[in-house]
Amino acid sequence: MTTTTPARTTTRMAALVDEIRSVVDRGLAPDLTAYLVGERLAPHLGAADLLTPEQREGHLDRYRQHILHSEADGSFSVVALVWLPGQETSIHDHVSWCVAGVHEGTESEIRYRLAPAVAPESTARLVATEEVVNAQGEVCGFAPPGDIHKVRNSCRTTAISLHVYGADVARLGSSVRRVYPEPTG
């Protein structure tokens, strides 16, 4: 994943950041915060004036992260992920609550849970629980634990999704807490 910091922001993005700030500043539980941020994000998805042309640029080798905003106090970040056809993440979870909305294209997501070890000497294993296809305008949100997933661009064109994290992605470099191996069998 490559990361860039935009030289400018759009008027619509600045308004969205203000809306997100009004939710985050309430100091609610992570799952409720994610839900309310998702409600604020949804009306902006698909709007032509949300991103600059530079913030819509992908990368040939991997999906590309554009950090659109990091709140000064580190309480949240807004990121655009640009995916060329077939690009995907590893299986991962996050450092904080997260909201993702599809701005353009279609993304497929496989959600997982950790199943308990079956024997005392064995370890927990990943089990796929759900496959979801998210089209333009769709939003999902979650908070750890229970946020293990893998995402990929499942359309034939570029896909762009907006992600809001309850962490300072500019400082951390990523919202990913852990990467998991692909399940076998």
59 falls within a domain: yes
Domain that holds residue 60: 2-180
- Alpha carbons 165 and 100: distance in angstroms, whole number: 9
Mean pLDDT confidence for 103-120: 87
Is cis: bond before 120, omega within 30 of 0? no
185 falls within a domain: no
Q: What is the pLDDT of residues 31-73, one digit of tens each?
A: 999 999 999 999 999 999 999 999 999 999 999 999 999 999 9
Q: What is the pLDDT of residues 87-104, one digit of tens each?
A: 999 998 888 999 999 999
77 falls within a domain: yes
Q: What is the average pLDDT value for the chain, to the nearest integer?
A: 89
Residue 49 maps to which CATH number?
Answer: 2.60.120.10
Q: Which residues contact 62 (CB under 8 A, 6 or more apart)?
A: 1, 2, 87
| Encoded amino acid at 83, one letter | W
What 3 state SS string does 102-130 have? EEECEEEEEEEEEECCCCCCCCCEEEEEE
Provide the domain count of the chain: 1
Q: Residue 7: which pLDDT band, with cuts at 50, 70 and 90?
A: very low
